[in-house]
Amino acid sequence: MTTAAMPLVSTEAMEAIAAYIEENATAAYAAKVKKFKHYPGQTFSSENWMDRNAELRSYLSGAWGSGSDTARTAMVVWYIKKWGGISRLKDKHIASYAAAGPPSIDVKNFDKIASWSKALAMMQPTQFAIYDARVAFALNAIQAVRLGWVQTWFRIPTTQKGIIKRAHKGLECYATPNTKVLGDAEVYGAYLDVLKGAHSFDLERAEMILFALTDDIGAKISPMPTIPRPQL
């Protein structure tokens, strides 16, 4: 008889994050997020940032499905560099994402996760979501605020964003010896499972809510006395 695999994310953590997403959707929708350009040839029908984001991914996903290899590479380069702001990533890496497509991108490789997850979210927005420093920080911070400690730690990619850098050390103090630190190969799959737990929203909407409210949840991280904690 086989035994069921233990869930990567605790039930309490899943429920806390899902509840936060559900409860803060309206605030996220109304948040002021820097406007981004439309892709050449594409237009927006909405003025709201979240709707525009969804429109953009839907447009690019459709164009991706029918595009040539050259067009596909151009789309991924634009989405990661121009829209996503990851200007230092070498074109050869982006070209490899375009050539591989969703079936072949290694979702167990944490290296450059903020880049390849953008490519996946652009190609198939109903199946994949962006994992970057903001959403990773939010996943941990929600647990800290709602549960009093981080039960499941999501590794945070390197970032220069102010609120995350300032609050990161304080957030680490909410990890205890009992915190489960997700391995690099586990992070992305666990993240998608958490987003699916917010049943009122699809993956991209749940991701966008986390992204929009990172500053708000980060401001709620209060300094705590440092206690022995795992390597994060």
Q: What is the pLDDT of residues 40-71, one digit of tens each?
A: 888 888 888 999 999 999 999 999 888 898 99
Together in a domain, 27 and 142: yes
- Domain for residue 105, yes or no? yes
Last residue of a domain, one of 123, 151, 172: 123
- Domain for residue 6, yes or no? no
- Domain for residue 200, yes or no? yes
Question: Against a cut of 0.75, is the pTM above it?
Answer: yes
Quick one: how far is CA 32 from the chain centroid?
18
- Domain for residue 92, yes or no? yes
Last residue of a domain, one of 70, 88, 123: 123
Q: Which domain holds residue 24?
A: 11-31+131-218
Last residue of a domain, one of 123, 146, 176: 123
pLDDT of residue 194: 95
- Domain for residue 44, yes or no? no
**Residue that has been written with the tokens 């997403």 in this structure:** 21
Quick one: how far is CA 149 from the chain centroid?
21
- Domain for residue 225, yes or no? no
Together in a domain, 141 and 210: yes
pLDDT digits (tens, 9 = 90+) for 149-176: 999 999 988 765 555 666 667 888 898 9
- Domain for residue 226, yes or no? no
Together in a domain, 174 and 118: no
Together in a domain, 111 and 146: no
Together in a domain, 77 and 144: no
Together in a domain, 173 and 206: yes
- For 46, counting Cβ atoms within 10 Å of its Cβ (0-12 exposed, 13-18 middle, 19+ buried), the class is exposed
Sequence-ordered list of residues with C-beta below 8 angstroms from that of 36, at least 6 positions apart, any chain:
52, 53, 56, 83
Together in a domain, 117 and 143: no
Split into its structural domains, the chain has a count of 2
- Domain for residue 138, yes or no? yes
- What band does 91 get if pLDDT is binned at 50, 70 and 90? confident
Together in a domain, 119 and 173: no
